[in-house]
A and B are shown apart, each in its own frame.
Chain A
Amino acid sequence: MTEKTVHLWVNDRELSIAAEPSRTLLEVLREDLKCISVKEGCGRGDCGSCVVIMDGKPVNACLVLIAQAEDAHVLTLEGLSGGTALHPLQRLFVDKWAFQCGFCTPGMILSSYALLMKNLEPTEEDIKEAIVGNLCRCTDYHRVIEAVQEAARELRQLNEPG
């Protein structure tokens, strides 16, 4: 198949990538761009391990063809908080033991991040809805919910004027 040049931003870096249009965003992120935080658990959109943020929305990168990412802004866990400082979600996932093996964590954090981008006062139901597509097999989801609630609280305080 012939390659096509795709133009997109990944973690705020503008890129033009030559790729076969049938390849998935997951493959390009992992293989070409070495974004190893994007995990493949099932390759068919069931587990949420490969969730990234595309134009503000969480997507399963295994279900997005690279051609569909033309001009898109993609955020992976490597790019959260510029990849240097810890975002409150990252710190709280550690502090609240919101994972064990950690394979689901990149997707879980990014799904939660997408929620907090538009809603800093999420209810428990909002959080459950946001992570409904992210499977975890080790821990319980309660710790994730606690971490997200606490992160929302911190971010609200940061946003308060004065």
Chain B
Amino acid sequence: MSELEIVRNKASAFGSLDVVKGKAYYLKDLSFPGMLVGRLLYTAYPCAKILRIDVDIARSLPGVVAVLTHHDIPGENSYFYGGNSDQPLLAVDRVYYQGDALVAVAAENDEAANAALAAVIVEYQPLVGVFDPVAAMQPGSPRVWQHRDNIFDHTCVEDGNVENGFKEADIIIENTYHTQLVEQAFLEPEGALALTDLDGTLIVYASAQAPHRDRMQIARALALPESKVRVIVPRIGGAFGGKDEAHVQIHAALLAHATGRPVRLVRTREESILTHVKRHPVQIKYKTGVKQDGRITAVHVLAIGDTGPYVNAGQEVMGFLASMAAGPYRIANVRLESYTVFTNNPICGAMRGFGVPQVAYAYERQMDEIAHRLSLDPVKIRLLNGLETGDRLPTGVTLKEAGGMKAGLREAAELADWENRNSVERQPAPNLRRGWGVATSLFSIGLGKVWPDHAGAGLEMTLDGSVILRTGATDSGQGTHTVLAQIAAEALGVELSSVRVITPDTDKTLDAGSSVATRQIVVSGNAFLQAAKPIHKSLLLTAAEETGLPEEKLSLRRGFLYCDDEPLNLTVSDLAKKAWFKDRPLHGEGFYAMEYPKDVEHVQ
């Protein structure tokens, strides 16, 4: 095929008509007969010993069907994320932050569930908490964990010789920056609905980014084989990293398992803000050495991230921050350090950008200050130091393409009429001010070498040439399903409207990993290209036999067979039927794994 027919065109987003008609189903729009209300009791203190949890009264109240504590968890009492199991599902004898849950309740209605929570007796012994990450690093600081140091991780990415680099510099600029904790505030709070199927399979609907990982975690907590758990993801009302890790789907599953009835558990907005991971607040000491002409000779970064009490993705976020801390600049001598520090503050982890927004703020402030100090143009100093194709990043990765750093910057400056900005009226109206600013950033996609990074894909062509696409990749509205359908339509030579998307359901769709790190179009997209191959092969083989034309001259485009650029009198639908009669497969599975350089240590 000479050029792309489908992918290059804009398309309406998958499911968008349902949205504007008000018919799109999100988690809380689902219900089942006999469904119970699930709720969790959260701790009264961020750091305390639990002396006693008494649920007897709560259990005796009318309308209350189940009241669970950590004693009632059949399997492992922990989340399991990135290999870490330090966060309990229901607290045992300590609470470590304000989002820890202690008790799970299922009741006939909201009032009964709330009455049950109010009737639980918890005796706490409040402890001195740790709330300042910098103080937490000092010797003698109170500890968040008895058996773990407050400094969980130290990452150091080094290249060249940073001391020599600073000696070469004419001036040195050093500043300390502070970024704040950021809440995703997706509009749909986290929720899950669990019920037992007729054959004993546990079905869990969840507003989630990673259904297959959720399935594993649910099975682990319930001591069930994973094959007996099915996770289905309805339309998601935003996620931004905050629904990557499991939230209440395990608790809803525990309650459904305990009661034998459907249980829907949705966090209130307040609970949502208290519990899920945030963007790390980071203190960044940034030291830059620079020559009079603006060339940067050395950078030393020391970043301290407050990760809260549980590991989650904290180490990976802070490690990624270090990897990206030199920005999109060519700097020969760098030392990029980050510390991941435990506190009793909210847990921090994945949130749009994974550490980059914090450090980009720091290095771009540095660039502006350097420009100001040396009386250089802020755009020019960025162009002077900007990365080019073939440059090597401090991590050791060589750039096959520089991602348009310089070209993009030049174009942006031109569009903004940067050169003439000082001749433009800065105060066009009494209440208006005009200003100009420039900023760049360095970002990479994929999970890097830290976590497995692959996706499966399933495609099936029916006898009328329409296509069923099965994807385990979730779409929170960013268009993942639309683009995957476009890729499949392109690869099979059918119209986009011929593709129906089966959304993530672990019983129907293959594991595609989490929809995070801007990865799904690359991993799942490539997996669908693979999945299309056997179907495409069946159709073309059949077409060659039917027409007597050589296979390499034939192609499928928008539902029709072509010979070179001439449409023939055969449709994909005709070919599908004929291929089926000739016993050729009309379905395919694809698999794709990201490839990372093997000789490099810190890669993301």
Contact = CB atoms under 8 A, between A and B. Distances in A.
B22 A76 contact: yes
A41 B189 contact: yes
Contact of B21 (A77, A104, A135, A137): A77
B476 A101 contact: yes
A39 B26 contact: yes
Contact of A93 (B20, B188, B240): B20
A43 B269 contact: yes
A106 interface: yes
B19 A39 contact: no
B238 A36 contact: no
Contacts of B268: 43
A102 B24 contact: yes
Interface string B234-264: 0111111000000000000000000000000
Contacts of B238: 100-101, 103, 137-138
A41 B187 contact: yes
B186 interface: yes
B20 A137 contact: no
B188 A36 contact: no
B235 A94 contact: no
Chain B CB within 10 Å, residue with most, of A35, A76, A101: A101
Interface in A8-62: 35-37, 39-44, 46-47, 49
Given A47-B187, A137-B240, A138-B477, A103 B26 contact: yes
A106 B22 contact: yes
A34 B189 CA distance: 19
Given A41-B187, A47-B187, A102 B16 contact: yes
Contacts of A97: 13
A42 B268 CA distance: 7
A90 interface: yes
Contacts of B477: 99-102, 138
Nearest to B28: A40
A100 B478 contact: yes
A100 B476 contact: yes
B393 to A, nearest CB: 31
Contacts of A132: none
Contact of A101 (B17, B20, B28, B188): B188
Contact of A99 (B19, B239, B240): B19
A95 interface: yes
Interface in B1-35: 12-13, 15-17, 19-26, 28-29
B475 to A, nearest CB: 9
B384 interface: no
A93 B21 CA distance: 11
B135 interface: no
Nearest to A103: B237
B20 A44 contact: no
A103 B20 contact: no
B369 to A, nearest CB: 30
Contacts of A83: 21
B22 A78 contact: yes
Contact of B29 (A36, A43, A47, A93): A36
Contacts of B13: 94, 97, 100
Given A44-B269, A90-B21, A93-B20, A101 B236 contact: yes
A102 B24 CA distance: 8
Nearest to A87: B20
A86 to B, nearest CB: 7
B109 to A, nearest CB: 10
Nearest to A95: B12
A83 B476 CA distance: 25
A156 B239 CA distance: 38
Nearest to A138: B477
A103 B187 contact: yes
A109 interface: yes
Contacts of B476: 100-101, 138
A105 interface: yes
Contacts of B12: 94-95
A109 B22 CA distance: 10
B416 interface: no
A49 to B, nearest CB: 6
Q: Output the residue of B19, B23, B184, B189 with the most chain A CB within 10 A.
A: B19
Nearest to A77: B22
B266 to A, nearest CB: 9
A136 B238 CA distance: 10
Interface string B152-164: 0000000000000
A136 B19 CA distance: 14
Interface in B185-237: 185-189, 235-237
B22 A135 contact: no
B531 to A, nearest CB: 26
A47 B184 CA distance: 14
A138 to B, nearest CB: 5
A97 B235 CA distance: 17
B17 A94 contact: yes
Nearest to A86: B20
B129 to A, nearest CB: 28
A37 B20 CA distance: 9
B183 to A, nearest CB: 10
A137 B186 contact: yes
| B17, B28, B269: residue with the most chain A Cβ atoms closer than 10 Å | B269
B22 to A, nearest CB: 3
Contacts of A37: 21-23
A41 B366 CA distance: 39
A29 B493 CA distance: 45
Nearest to B25: A36
22 contacts: A39-B187, A39-B188, A43-B268, A47-B187, A76-B22, A77-B20, A91-B20, A94-B13, A94-B16, A94-B20, A99-B19, A99-B477, A100-B13, A100-B478, A101-B238, A101-B239, A102-B15, A103-B26, A103-B188, A105-B20, A137-B238, A137-B240
Nearest 5 pairs of A and B residues by beta carbon: A37-B22, A100-B477, A103-B237, A101-B477, A77-B22
Given A37-B22, A77-B22, 11 more contacts: A36-B22, A36-B23, A40-B28, A41-B187, A41-B188, A93-B16, A94-B13, A94-B19, A100-B238, A102-B19, A102-B24
Interface of B: 12-13, 15-17, 19-26, 28-29, 184-189, 235-240, 268-269, 476-479
